[in-house]
Structures are given as structure tokens and as C-alpha cells.
Amino acid sequence: MGGTTADPRPPTLATDTPGAPGEAAWAGSRFGCKAPPARRRAPPGSPDGTDRPSGGDTKLGAVIDPKLIRTDPDRLRRAQARRGEDTALIDRLIEADEARRSAIGVFEDWRAQQKELGKKVSRAAASDKSKLLDEAKELAARVKSAEAGSSLAEARFEELLKLLPNPVFEDVPMGGEDDAVVLETVGAPRDFAAEGFTPADHEAIGRRLGAIDMERGAKVSGSRFYFLTGVGAELELGLVQLAMARALAWGFTPILPPALVKQAAMEGTGFLGQAAQDVYHLPADDLYLVGTSEVALAAYHAGEILDQATLPRRYVGYSPCFRREAGSYGQDTKGIFRVHWFDKVEMFVYCDPDQSQDEHQKLLDFERQFLQLLEIPFQVLEVPAGDLGLSAARKYDCYAWFPGQNRYREVTSTSNCTEFQSRRLGVRARRTDGAVGPVATLNGTLCAMTRTIIALLENHQQADGSVTLPAALRPYLGGRETLTPLD
């Protein structure tokens, strides 16, 4: 699938204060995406023509449009039921929203009376001021109490809102992990029996090639760590170059993001909800190790208002990923399939919400193309609602064939997070008529190194212990066609 050529210059953006006029007009609008406009003249003090927010912590916003709770609660109940989640949460949210709005009303009424009394005090005769000041003191206490009640009601509402996952699309299949729907099968597994040998698993192949060292990984760092050595390291570096080359051709801007992020970035992307047990936290610095560069890429534009004419914005990041794998004790302990650290090339898109489903299909197609370049048989699956993460409204996985396990296993995923992350992180766009509103965010794995290396070694192994390299990867490994055993 084609794409626009990536602009090497930093993208233009504008900043604004929350609640800018025109946000309501954005909701429900439909407008097309345009090519990025000509570079604007840079304002004083802004060398690249951008206006960025000052540094500091990002204040998290609502995960969904709060109006939905009042205008379409049945949609939210259906989405909860589809995920297999508690629909009573919607009723609690409705009650909390009513209590919050009522408390705000009481506070504003008392505050208005306080302001009016202040005017009377300033105009009152000296003989009347003492009495009015006593009233003002009593009224100030009531305002303070009402403000505290309003803040408490607001906090209660926000806490409940954090429990609400992104509403799934109505046609997402129901069920859990075992109910994924196979949409497509590409390629066919090799018949190793017909070729006269039994396929080895990636750990045995990697040992013969001098590519994977699990023993020293465990010695240095503990279980589920490893060293990629020799051709193993070359394979990863070659895959990174191939993935980046393809992403650039598809119109992505490359980014090397930080692997340590603040709590706001982790929470804003939804990774401190149901996935919190898999996250590494450094309490001395209050920073988190990312499990995917999606986190940093989603927070890249936090608190900013983008120019709608620059959408969609497509970024591709390469970073280490760290996962505790707390819920997978005893599962996939052999080799580098399920590890605490791996490197990954990740695609990320900001777009108009009306374009998110089209962009999602593009991300899926890019993943398909990359696996086909590597000549690996795979299946495309749609993930059921009950197996979706907190932020995804729809997700597709690609499962590659692993001869060493004699089954298909997940190697890529792509999620449409609609407005969930952008609302939390305060990423919005201003269209040509001045309306301001949230954007949609999407992510997709282009190449998760460890599992891709497994699939390459196992699918392209030969009877003599060598591994044939797919044609697309050879230029990135010095033109070699084959990896040969050390002995």
C-alpha cells in the first residue's frame, strides 16, 4: 500500500487552552484530510514555526465524551456487555454525574451570592457593614463547604470514569481469548516431513548458529533474559533497517523515543489499568519503563492542538520494551518467545476520528506486507471484545506459523484507540472553521524482534542446520543468502 513521502521537517502545530471555543462543533463532524500546507512563517522565538506547551506534567482528561453518559448510556451498556464487563458501572456513572453536576450547581449558587454580597459590602454605609461582614463570613464558610463537596463529587466521578474502557465498535466479535475470528490465512506451512527432517525449535537453531545465548542471559539478568550474539544480533539490526525502510516508503516519520516515561504518559495511554501488573516502575524517580513505544508516541503531542490539515500524522518508533509478564508464570518459558525485554518497531498514527477505521486497515495491511516480505506463513485474526485492552475499540492480530510449536502464535497487533488516549492526554486538532476536538490514535507492531527472529529461524531452517534468508532481508545482512552453523 502506498503512502505520502515523509516530511523530514518537524510538523507544525498550534497550542491553545483547554475548552477552546468550537469543540462542540467538532463532535459528529465529517471532513476529509488534506495534504500538509506550505510552511508558515515562524513566530518570534519559534525557529520551526511551532508553538509548544511549556514543560510539566500533563493533566489527564476524560476517557470518553462525558456527554455520552447522559445522551447514550445504552450504547455504553452494550459496549460493556460485549466486553463481558459490569454494565452496572454505567448506572454508577450516571448517578455520580448527576451528583457532580448538582454539587457544582450548589457551589456556583453560593459563589454567586457571595459575589453579590461583596458588592453590597463595598457600597454599604459604615453602620451596616458590621452586619454584612458577619453575613459574608457565614457565607464564605458555606462557599468553602460547597466547593469541597463539588471537588469530592468531581473526584468520585473521575475515579469511576477511569474504570470505563473504550467503548468497542458494535460489530466487534464477542468472547474471550479463545474466540478470536480468523479473517485470513496467508501462505502455507512447510511440509518438513516431505522434506525428510523434523524441524528444530528456535532455541536449538539459535544455539547452532551462535545467535542466541539464554544461559548467559539468565546469569546476568535472571530468567526470561537473553543475549543475541553474532548473526542473532545481525538479524535484529537487519530487521530494524528493513522495517524502517518500509515505514519511510509508506510515509512514516521515524522517531527514537524515550523508554522511561512519567506516570501521566503511562496512565494516559491506558497501561496503568488492567495491564498495571506487567509494568516496571522505578519508584525512586517515579518513572515507568515502557512495554511498547506506543506510550511515548501517544504522549508526544500531549497537551497540544494540531493543525487538522497536517493529519494524519504517521510516526514509526524503535525502542526497547519491558514487560514483567506477571500473569504468565510457567507459560512459554523456553527460548525468547515470552521475555522481560525485547526491541520493537512500532507504527503510530494521529488522525481525524472519522478516518480512524480506514487508517486501521492501512496499519493492518502494512503488517501483512512486512510478514510477506519475510516469507512467513501467517493468519489475520480479529480480537474479541473480551480480550481487548482498556484503550482499544478494535484490534487485529497477525499470528505467524511457528514450526517448533506446530501452531500459529501472535507476532503483531494493531489497535484503533479512537479518542480514548487523545482525550486523556489532551491531544486535539483545530480544523479550518476553527472547531477544536480530540483526534483518534492508532498503533501497530511492524516488527517485534524476538518473535520475528523465532519465525525466521524456524520457518527458513534447512536439513543441514543452516537457515535461508528471505530475499528482502539479504541486503541488510551483507548480501548473504544463508546463515550457517558454527560447527
Domain boundaries, the chain: 67-162, 177-483
Task: State which amino acid sits at residue 276.
Answer: A
Q: Evaluate whether the domain defined by 67-162 bears CATH number 1.10.287.40.
A: yes
Q: In Å, what is the CA distance from 286 to each residue of 40, 155, 319, 364? A: 39, 23, 20, 35
Q: Is 101 a catalytic residue?
A: no
Q: Is 41 a catalytic residue?
A: no
Residue of 267, 410, 419, 458 marked catalytic: 410
> What was the pLDDT predicted at 329?
62
> What was the pLDDT predicted at 325?
85
> What was the pLDDT predicted at 62?
61
* Under 8 Å between Cβ of 87 and 77: yes
Residue of 52, 207, 324, 338 marked catalytic: 338
Q: How far apart are CA 444 and CA 363, in angstroms?
A: 6
Beta strands 287-289; 260-261: pairing state: antiparallel
Q: Is 323 a catalytic residue?
A: yes
Q: How confident is the prediction along the chain (487 residues), in pLDDT tens digits per residue?
A: 443 333 333 333 333 333 333 333 333 332 233 333 333 333 333 333 334 554 455 555 566 788 889 999 999 999 999 999 999 999 999 999 999 999 999 999 998 988 888 888 778 787 777 788 888 888 899 999 999 999 999 999 988 988 899 999 999 999 998 999 999 999 999 999 999 999 999 999 999 999 999 999 999 999 999 999 999 999 999 999 999 999 999 999 999 999 999 999 999 999 887 678 889 999 999 999 999 999 999 999 999 999 999 999 999 999 999 999 866 666 688 899 999 999 999 999 999 999 999 999 999 999 999 999 999 999 999 999 999 999 999 999 999 999 999 999 999 999 999 999 999 999 999 988 899 999 999 999 999 999 999 999 999 999 999 999 999 999 999 999 999 999 7
> What was the pLDDT predicted at 133?
85
Q: Where are the alpha helices (DSSP H) in 54-87?
A: 67-71, 73-83
Q: In Å, what is the CA distance from 446 to each residue of 243, 261, 381, 397? A: 7, 22, 16, 11
Q: How far apart are CA 328 and CA 325, in angstroms?
A: 5
* Under 8 Å between Cβ of 440 and 287: no
Q: Is 451 a catalytic residue?
A: yes
In sequence order, the 6+-apart residues with CB closer than 8 A to the CB of 383 are 180, 392, 394, 395, 396, 397, 413
Long-range contacts of 187-192 (CB under 8 A, 24+ apart): 187/372, 187/375, 187/376, 187/377, 187/378, 187/401, 188/377, 189/377, 189/401, 189/403, 190/403, 190/459, 192/403
Residue of 267, 304, 451, 458 marked catalytic: 451
Residue of 293, 319, 391, 413 marked catalytic: 413
Domain 177-483: CATH class, spelled out: alpha beta
Residue of 82, 246, 323, 430 marked catalytic: 323
End-to-end CA distance of the chain: 42
E strands, 323-435, in order: 341-351, 378-382, 394-402, 407-416, 428-430
Provide the 3-class DSSP secondary structure of residue 220.
helix
Provide the 3-class DSSP secondary structure of residue 182.
strand
Q: How far apart are CA 441 and CA 436, in angstroms?
A: 16
Q: How far apart are CA 248 and CA 427, in angstroms?
A: 24
